[in-house]
Structure 1
Amino acid sequence: MIEVDEIDRKILRALVRDASKSSKSLGEELGLSQPAVWRRIKRLKDNGAIVGRRLRLDREKLGLGVMVFLGVKLAAKGRVSLEDFERAVSAIPEVVSVEHVLGLYDYRLKVVARDIPDFERVLRRRIMTLPGAGQVEANVLLSEEYRYGPL
């Protein structure tokens, strides 16, 4: 675990909001010099606290108006390996996230689709035909509020 002080937290909060900010603009925003910000960011990267940059897309503007959280329980855990299921489900382009979870379901998938009929097609033709796919529960996202991390 890396030690993170209040200045590091401010830098991380600012980068979570906009990862494209330069160390110069971060320095101006936080009252620090550009080299000081750069050194802190480099230390955070070198120690694994920052592991990359992400781009957030507006899925609705890209024609993907439906997001569904899908709980999947494997039908025959002993006959199908988790790796086989994960590999197969990860190959479906509409599945944007695969999480192996503890609880009622074995996996939690995040699936995007143009609309409900498109989601139904993905569910019936792709997800339900996967090796070991058993019981599923779908939760359609109604609205979302983006929060900028736990810091």
Structure 2
Amino acid sequence: MTDLDATDRKILRALAEDATQSAGALGRRFGLSQPAAWRRIRRLEEAGVLAGRRLTLDQEALGFGVSVFLGVKLATKGQVSLDAFERAVTAIPEVQTVQHVLGIYDYRLRIVARDLPDFERVLRRRIMTLPGVGHVEANVMLSEERRPGPLG
């Protein structure tokens, strides 16, 4: 675990809100020079605290108005089954995330679709034909709030 001071935490919160902020802008905001802010950001990256910066696409603006969380229970277990399922499911463009989880289901998928009929097509033609799929349960997302992670 990396020791973070109050300024590190402020920088992390600011970057969580908007990862495009420059070191100069962060420095001005938190009373640091641009080089000092850059060194802190670099140290956080090297320590693995900052593991990258991501671009967030607006799925609805791109025509994908439905997001569904799908619990998938495999019919057969074993490394071969897991590997085959993971290879096949990651090749489906509508599948945004694949999470191997512990609990009732073996996997949790986040799927985007244009509408419910489009989701049904993805479910029937792509998901249900994957190797090893036994049981699925769908939860349609109604709304989403983004909450930054705990920084103490």
Query: Is 2:55 aligned against 1:55?
Result: yes
Query: Is 2:49 aligned against 1:16?
Result: no
Change (3 A) 1:80 1:128: farther
Query: Is 2:21 aligned against 1:30?
Result: no
Given residue 107 of structure 1, which amino acid in structure 2 is its aligned partner? Y
Q: Using the TM superposition, give the Cα deviation of residue 78 of structure 1 relative to its aligned residue in structure 2, in angstroms.
A: 4.2
Paired residue secondary structure (1:81): helix
Q: 2: CA distance between counterparts of 1:15 and 1:79?
A: 38
1:135 maps to 135
2:123 maps to 123
Q: Using the TM superposition, give the Cα deviation of residue 149 of structure 1 relative to its aligned residue in structure 2, in angstroms.
A: 2.3
Query: Is 2:114 aligned against 1:106?
Result: no
Given residue 13 of structure 2, which amino acid in structure 1 is its aligned partner? R
CA contact (8 A) 1:66 1:112 kept: yes
Paired residue secondary structure (1:41): helix
Structure-2-length-normalised TM-score: 0.96
Runs of at least 4 residues of structure 1 off by over 4 A?
A: none
CA contact (8 A) 1:8 1:40 kept: yes
Q: Using the TM superposition, give the Cα deviation of residue 80 of structure 1 relative to its aligned residue in structure 2, in angstroms.
A: 4.8
Which stretches in structure 2 are left out of the alignment for 5+ residues?
none
Q: 2: CA distance between counterparts of 1:59 and 1:107?
A: 22
What is the aligned length? 151
Given residue 55 of structure 1, which amino acid in structure 2 is its aligned partner? L
Q: Give the percent of matched residue pairs that are identical in Structure 1 and Structure 2.
A: 70
Q: Using the TM superposition, give the Cα deviation of residue 79 of structure 1 relative to its aligned residue in structure 2, in angstroms.
A: 8.7
Paired residue secondary structure (1:68): strand
Change (3 A) 1:38 1:132: same
Tell me the C-alpha RMSD between the 2 structures: 1.2
Deviations 1:65-123 (A, max 9, x none): 00000000001114952111111000000000000000000000000000000000000
Aligned pairs for 1:18-97 (under 5 A) are 18-78=18-78, 80-97=80-97
CA contact (8 A) 1:80 1:131 kept: no
Given residue 135 of structure 1, which amino acid in structure 2 is its aligned partner? H
Structure-1-length-normalised TM-score: 0.96
Paired residue secondary structure (1:112): strand
Given residue 42 of structure 2, which amino acid in structure 1 is its aligned partner? K
Given residue 123 of structure 2, which amino acid in structure 1 is its aligned partner? L
